[in-house]
Amino acid sequence: MISEETNPIDLFNMWYAEALESEPNDANAVAVATSTPDGLPSLRMVLLKSVDDQGFVFYTNLGSRKAQQIQSNAHVAMCFHWKSLRRQVRIEGPVIPVSDEEADAYFDSRPRMSQIGAWASKQSTPLEGRFELEAKIAKYTAKFNIGKVARPEFWSGYRVVPETIEFWQDETFRLHDRLVYTRDIENWKTHRVYP
């Protein structure tokens, strides 16, 4: 049975640490669901870059489809699935931008070619062919040949502020264990739900 922690972020961090040890790769991969202004769902995988009591952080091009959808509806859902542990965690809540300082610090920690790739990619827009992307990579490699690669203004991060977090553990005969945390102003309340 899933242990009930006072703070679901503590439980998430325990499960996440286990996933980092057991998953073959990308234990930080999370599905993020947004919606169009018309309410049509859109889903993709991103990489979690940090988590704390304020929320779950990922980074993206601010011109991307997901960023545009977040601008029109700032509520998202996330789902981690750790197959090796037979666990999943679902998170729902509003999204807020990270600070410029946070975005700068994370961008500075990225490999240089990933930084250049952020400059070269017009994420989610049509691409004539691979050569077009490679030419832009060459252009920005030359531009930033010496010195630091500055973070583009169109690249930053989002923090999903959890209002609901559900922990799911696979059990025999499909009698799964599900523990739901809901935020009540400053405190978390828990309840179990049927599998």
The residues annotated as belonging to the active site are 174
Q: DSSP string covering 39-104, please?
A: --EEEEEEE--EEETTEEEEEEETTSHHHHHHHH--EEEEEEEETTTTEEEEEEEEEEEPPHHHHH
Cβ 158 vs Cβ 103: under 8 Å: no
Compute the distance between CA of residue 180 and CA of residue 168 in angstroms, rounded to an integer. 9
